[in-house]
Amino acid sequence: MLRTNRAAAPSARNGIDSLGCVLGGHKPPNLHKWGPGIRDVYALHYIIRGKGTYQAKEHLFTIEANESFIIFPETEVCYYPDPDDPWEYVWIEFKGDEAGSLVSLTSMRPDFPVTGKTTVDLFPLFSIIENANAKPFERLRSTAKLRLLLSYYAEYFPSVAMLHSQDYVWAAKEYIANNYWRESLTVTDIVRFVSVERSYLYRLFKEATGMSVSAYVTAFRIERACELLKRSELSVKAVAYSVGYHDQLYFSKVFKKATTFTPSEYKALVAEGVLPAGELTK
């Protein structure tokens, strides 16, 4: 059952029209699809569990637990749950003169309206909507809670426009760490997230890591694969899938190039104690 709670719209009469909560709610897992359509407000969603797909214009994103997406006003969107693992989420709609500037403090943009995972549980902060008959002080309290919620997004997912050159590399690394498992991850995705010229990010990344962005993605995936091979009972196919390779043969080829061993050989050598856990040969 879809549960919502509507608040009165921001009112100039009460002097609180610069930012206001409009609607909020919680959606349990089901196969409901929304859109394509538009909203005239900002609508921030936080995934509690499960996963789904969010499409904004020509951009398609897979969203899962502890990640968020936002709908920008007057932007055509469509979103729907994964049929095998439907998402459960909470959301908050808001509007007002300050809404756009507050959202701009975060990394969420019309061309990239999603976030990675956060270690902070944001779920409780979404319970901020008062009822439609709320008194002015109650609505001010809701607005304060909304500002608190957005402050967490600004802290954990800051606008790349606020970053210095060394922070671009950090932002790119964070994005890779949160998205390496996506088979569709590309350098273009990373460049778009960081919002700098591709050649500039390449130079910064090369200076900081000694690798290109694409090489770093591969190295990160292989390092994660090694961890899974030595510390889990997952099959090679499952490990490959978990680090962004849906083609097991291609994964084995990339893994051997990086380690001189096939994934199966690596797993066996670690189990026998021949190869120290976590140590690659080159």
Same domain, 132 and 51: yes
Q: Of the candidates 50, 49, 53, which has an alpha carbon nearest to the alpha carbon of residue 85?
A: 50
| Domain boundary, last residue among 161, 193, 216 | 161
Residues 14 and 146 in one domain: yes
Count the residues in the chain. Answer: 282
User: What whole-number distance in Å separates Cα of residue 108 and Cα of residue 100?
Assistant: 11
| Percent with pLDDT over 70 in the chain | 86
Please give the tally of structural domains in the chain.
Answer: 2
Q: How confident is the model at residue 31 (pLDDT cuts 50, 70, 90)?
A: confident
For the record, the structure tokens of 128 come out as 């901020």
**Interval 172-181: pLDDT, tens:** 998 899 899 9
| Residues 178 and 111 placed together within one structural domain of the fold | no
Q: Do both 102 and 209 map to the same domain?
A: no
161 pLDDT band, cuts 50/70/90, is: low
The confidence score (pLDDT) of residue 13 equals 40
pLDDT per position as a tens digit, 192-233: 888 778 888 898 899 889 999 999 999 999 999 999 998 878
Identify the domain boundary among 161, 191, 212.
Answer: 161
**pLDDT on residue 23:** 81
List the strands of the sheet with 68-71, edge to edge.
3-6, 20-27, 88-95, 42-49, 68-71
* Residues 20 and 74 occupy one common structural domain: yes
Same domain, 210 and 254: yes
Among the listed residues 38, 92, 99, 37, the one whose alpha carbon sits nearest the alpha carbon of residue 69: 92
Whether the Cβ atoms of residue 236 and residue 245 lie closer than 8 Å to each other: no
Residue 95 shares a structural domain with residue 168: no
Q: Which domain holds residue 39?
A: 3-161
Q: The domain that contains 277 carries what CATH number?
A: 1.10.10.60
CATH number at residue 40: 2.60.120.280
Q: Which of these three, 135, 161, 187, is where a domain ends?
A: 161
Instruction: For the chain, give the mean pLDDT.
Output: 84
H or E element in which residue 91 lies: strand 88-95
One domain, residues 156 and 172 = no
Instruction: Judge if 47 and 135 occupy the same domain.
Output: yes
Cα(205)–Cα(174) distance, integer angstroms: 13
List alpha helices for 243-282, DSSP H: 248-259, 263-272
Rounded to whole angstroms, how far apart are CA atoms 223 and 236?
Answer: 14
Residue 8: predicted pLDDT? 44
Both 155 and 18 in one domain: the answer is yes
44 and 93 belong to one structural domain? yes
| 25 and 44 assigned to the same domain | yes
